[in-house]
Structure 1
Amino acid sequence: MKHLTILVPDSQTGPNTISCIVGTYHVFTEANRYYDKLNREPIFNIELAGVSKQSNFVNGLLTVMTQKDITTIQKTDLIIVPAVISNFSAIEAGNSMLSAWILDHYTKGANVASMCTGAYLLASTGLLDNKNCSIHWKSAANFHKLFPKVNLKTEQIITDEQGIYTNGGGYSFLNLLLYLVEKFYDRQTAIYCSKIFQIDIARQTQSDFMIFNGQKSHGDEMVMRAQDYLENNFSEKISMEKLSEKFTVGRRNFDRRFIKATGNTPVEYLQRIKVESAKKELESSRKTVNEVMYAIGYTDIKAFREIFRRFTGLSPLEYKNKYNKAVIK
């Protein structure tokens, strides 16, 4: 039987930390139970492990008792790293011991999966350097600032690379659990768990959940003014050449500084502003897709659809049908 270690962080925890821990234990226990019903040997021995006997969550309202001290685990096959605080800045206390332990056991052959902001702990090991990683879109800017060598893929629900798995934000860790069940058990067991826990097994992206808020903590005053201009005039026809002249900066240098500060080219930034405005209109108004398109400054429906799908994973009409209450009725 393989060994599954669910890590219990020593500090820097939030409400979603305990959700990830309990959810993982529940889903894998059910997968084992399903195998047992089929007269098959369960895949995992599941244990909660940490550096202390218990950890407190939600201002002490909840407590999780660990079953093992990590130092007593000689071998494990799969490590689950639950979410931590979203305003992570540096690893603290016993979590640094967890980070070192993860690195050690990965080098010994263990697979590692981080959930949502658990990617902070995983990235602190260096194992995510030059690898793809998903995380909650709201934490992306802070994460990139702390771990610039990691290739962020915030539009993806799950990344899978060299025995390292990450997933997006919130309760999308449930989709990662189904993915892992299918990988370590089989497709049939994953489908069974999806039905028992009512988790959508077909979900591939978190793009339509993302809310675009331009990166503003970079300290480049020129880029900040350019961002403000784009955000206040996005429905008009904007020439990036003229915009760079407006701030007396050469176009190449303008693009370079903008990308460094925001993570987007000026054109991409403008597109994302337009799409975010379109999303709000499609969610709450009775405007048609064409009316929304014209309102944000597009005249080509094909181009609008392509750009909208690139950032949301859905067509404008699919998005409206999914989120507009009037349409749902």
Structure 2
Amino acid sequence: MSTVKPLQVALLVTRESSAATLYGMFDMFSSVGRDWQLLTGESPGHGFIKPELVSCNGEGFNSLNGAWLQPQKSFASCTTPDLICIPDLLVAPYQEIRGQYPEEVAWLTEQYARGAFIATACTGALLVAETGLLDHQECTTHWAYCEAMREHYPNIQVYGERSLVISGDEQRLLQAGGGTSWMDLALLITARFCGPEEAMRLARIYLLDWHHVGQQPYAVLSRPRNTEDALITRCQQWLAQHYESESPVAKMVEISGLNERTFARRFSKATGLSPLEYVHAMRLEEAKQMLETGDQSIEWIANEIGYEDGSFFGRLFKRKVGLTPAQYRKRFGSLRKSFSELQS
């Protein structure tokens, strides 16, 4: 890429922005084309990407986490960015944000129509969803927000298992999943606009590893939802203590006193999952804990959580988690062991 006109990247700043992602992306983009030469004994190169912090009015403020965020430009003075990056927003999964960002929505819509790319990290995708640009498009966000995003924006195709998604006109909408997958997004942007060699250099400078397995292995499969249905809550509480029992769905139907069809409908409405899907999710979460903390055989774990057929358990685990039980133990068991050793 030419060093005469670096890629102009606007990092969108809101009060809900994460300082870590915002300034992390700023530093990584600033590094492209500049720092590799410095680290290998040469004179620093010219940066290939010029990031700028941009907000509605350009004024500084304290973020929700208390960090001071100081934009460099306002929307009025940032009229032709090549690419806009939106870091994660510190909002709850089901928090309603409709109508709260009118200036940001208008600016994003205007810039996209002009030809700019828009990239989001984690919950930053919610802001683009507000523009309507993601309607009938593929998208990803943090795994904990996917269900709420599907409910709030039913026209968007949300893929929570993927850590990166590219969609939109001319593939100008780029989204990263949760947590540190913003680093994957930075590598993707670098590779796309500055070439794969620069992306490799950036990965080596920052010791970055690609999240090639996506978000599935990190996601919590069973997340309790607040429900006003006391009957379903009672069934959930029973299942939490008896998930390994034989025919748990039939037992919950019996506890509810409802017929099977009515129970299934009320359970799905309250939890977002069918009764059987909920049972599988509870069992697999327990299996994940066992794989992380113990060395029991896969067959033993399957039997312990309620599956008589170990091969069925293995296939179910791979489909829902994205890794085989053995792969999961190798990845997360060793991680937990390392953390435990640091504590001792």
TM category, shorter: 0.7 to 0.9
1:193 equivalent among 202, 215, 222 = 202
Deviation at 1:264, TM superposition (A): 2.2
Q: Partner of 2:16 in structure 1?
A: 12
Deviation at 1:182, TM superposition (A): 1.8
Matching of residue 238 in structure 1 with residue 247 in structure 2: yes
Deviation at 1:198, TM superposition (A): 0.9
- How is 1:92-241 mapped onto 2 (pairs within 5 angstroms)? 95-162=101-168, 163-201=172-210, 203-238=212-247, 240=249
Q: Please give the TM-score of this superposition, normalised by the length of structure 1.
A: 0.85
Matching of residue 3 in structure 1 with residue 4 in structure 2: no
Q: Which amino acid aligns with 1:63?
A: W
Is contact 2:58–2:75 with CA below 8 Å preserved after alignment?
no
2:323 equivalent among 314, 323, 329 = 314
Query: Structure 1 residues 198 and 35 mapped into 2: Cα distance closer, same or farther (>3 Å)?
Result: closer
Deviation at 1:296, TM superposition (A): 0.3
User: In the comparison of the two structures, how many residue pairs are matched?
Assistant: 324
Identity within the alignment, %: 25
Task: Note the aligned Cα RMSD (angstroms).
Answer: 3.1
Matching of residue 69 in structure 1 with residue 78 in structure 2: no
1:114 and 1:107 mapped to 2: Cα distance?
A: 17
Query: Structure 1 residues 27 and 287 mapped into 2: Cα distance closer, same or farther (>3 Å)?
Result: same
Is contact 2:243–2:306 with CA below 8 Å preserved after alignment?
yes
- How is 1:213-292 mapped onto 2 (pairs within 5 angstroms)? 213-238=222-247, 240=249, 243-244=252-253, 246-292=255-301
Q: Which amino acid aligns with 1:50?
A: S
Query: Structure 1 residues 231 and 60 mapped into 2: Cα distance closer, same or farther (>3 Å)?
Result: closer
1:225 and 1:141 mapped to 2: Cα distance?
A: 23
Q: Is there any run of 5+ residues in structure 2 with no aligned partner, and where? A: none
1:4 and 1:86 mapped to 2: Cα distance?
A: 24
Q: Secondary structure at the match of 2:69?
A: strand
Is contact 1:91–1:121 with CA below 8 Å preserved after alignment?
no
Q: Please give the TM-score of this superposition, normalised by the length of structure 2.
A: 0.82
Is contact 2:235–2:255 with CA below 8 Å preserved after alignment?
no
Is contact 1:35–1:41 with CA below 8 Å preserved after alignment?
no
Is contact 1:175–1:203 with CA below 8 Å preserved after alignment?
no
Deviation at 1:145, TM superposition (A): 4.5
Q: Which amino acid aligns with 2:121?
A: M
1:257 and 1:149 mapped to 2: Cα distance?
A: 24
